[in-house]
Amino acid sequence: MPQLAITGGSPVRSNPFPTWPVVSEADVEAVTQAIRDGEWGRMAGSHALDFEREFAAYQGAEYCLALNSGTSALEIGLLAIGIEPGDEVILSPYTYIASAAAILMSGGVPVFVDIDPDTYNIDPSKIEAAITDRTAAIMPVHFAGLACDMGAIGEIARRHGLKIIEDAAHVHGGKWNDAGLGTLGDAGAFSFQSSKNLNSGEGGALLTNDREVFARAIDYHDVWTGGLVERGGDAGGGSFRAGARWDFPFACHNFRISSYTAALLRSQLSKLEAQTVSRTENGKYLIDLIDQTEGLANLRRDSFATRDSHHLFLLKYKKESFDGLPREMFVEALKAEGIPASLGYPRGCHEQPLFLKPEAYLSRFWPRGRRGEVDIDYASISCPNVEYLCRNETVWLPQYALLDTRRGMEQIVEAADKIRAHVAELASAEVSV
């Protein structure tokens, strides 16, 4: 009789993990009231301003600008910290394509540096070798919610006169040495896309402690400095600073957030701390369980990572403990046991067609050199740690799984143990992935 659920046995868990997003009547009422108010746009509504104040306070920043996406936050943040056409920005390729795309769309040039295989974050010891006379900034990506080594990265940036923009898309509530992530560099960009720990379907925000960066960000988000006026500021410029002025100093996109989206974010933000505590506590418990589970391993969590926000829980899969079972089959077997799991990215950003086939698109707007000529050979870039984990090692568990009970954490490792104990069933079964 088969034991594994994928071959016909009973699953470890039959009831689903918590659904996402977590919707309450308070969320519905918040959006409904914002619609009833009739102040739907950013300039008329107050919900965006209220959210900015609340989210800045939550993460520990002086200023917050709410936007329509995390990608917008990265792009505007890069412009606001002074990225010029052709400037190089260093980042890890183990990230969503938006990180690199925002650099390109702001006129910069992405320079990929490999990760530390024990943390999946950029390896500070490899950064200086990538610095040239064109390097302007470093973009640490706090992947999955685990803090990068901001002490080492900050020291490198200071030594070379570089700016820091944090890709904080995964770190709502996350901390480095008890300071909120996204507040440690010159700017930090957050996403509120559907999967994120703070979610409004689409949305983003830029945090900064620098008033001038904030003022420029407001201009770049729609040529409007009204946000500073609302805060009692006196920064000039922008078409809506005074009612009769229509002065447009430069071209930019419209990245404004709607008032009712901000209203939803305010309601969701009221739940975030309790959810983050739950993810943190369950994450610590699951880490201890994984440490005792043959064939699985944890990432290294350094002492400076004082709160992991666990946008994802990442496992290292060791197929030698599963008689060489391919990772793809292991993940399918986990899912059959009732555990929401995925393989994650199949390749790093540096291996995307955007960079490997520059003639197809990249050359159309490459920001330096002769028109149409991309002067970096991305095909020659090697990031072996990223390439290995994408093809062989990583298993992702979604953030909402950590909103379950401790029993749910135990079932995750029970499912893995069950697969390892009965792995021979998979070798003989006709199961496709």
Which residues does 118 contact at the CB level (< 8 Å), separation at least 6?
299, 300
Token match 């991309």: residue? 374
* Range 273-298 average pLDDT: 98
Give the three-state DSSP class for 16: coil
pLDDT digits (tens, 9 = 90+) for 143-153: 999 999 999 99
* Range 194-220 average pLDDT: 94
Beta strand pairing call for 187-191 and 179-180 = unpaired
**What pLDDT sits at residue 245?**
55
Look at residues 344, 334, 314 and name the one whose alpha carbon lies nearest to residue 417. 334
Listing from the earlier edge strand, what are the strands of the sheet with 187-191?
Answer: 63-67, 204-208, 187-191, 163-167, 135-139, 88-91, 109-112
Look at residues 415, 292, 347, 348 and name the one whose alpha carbon lies nearest to residue 110. 348
DSSP label of 215: H
pLDDT digits (tens, 9 = 90+) for 313-334: 999 999 999 999 999 999 999 9
pLDDT-wise least confident of 311-325, 364-378, 398-412: 364-378
pTM: 0.94
What percent of the chain stands above pLDDT 70? 92
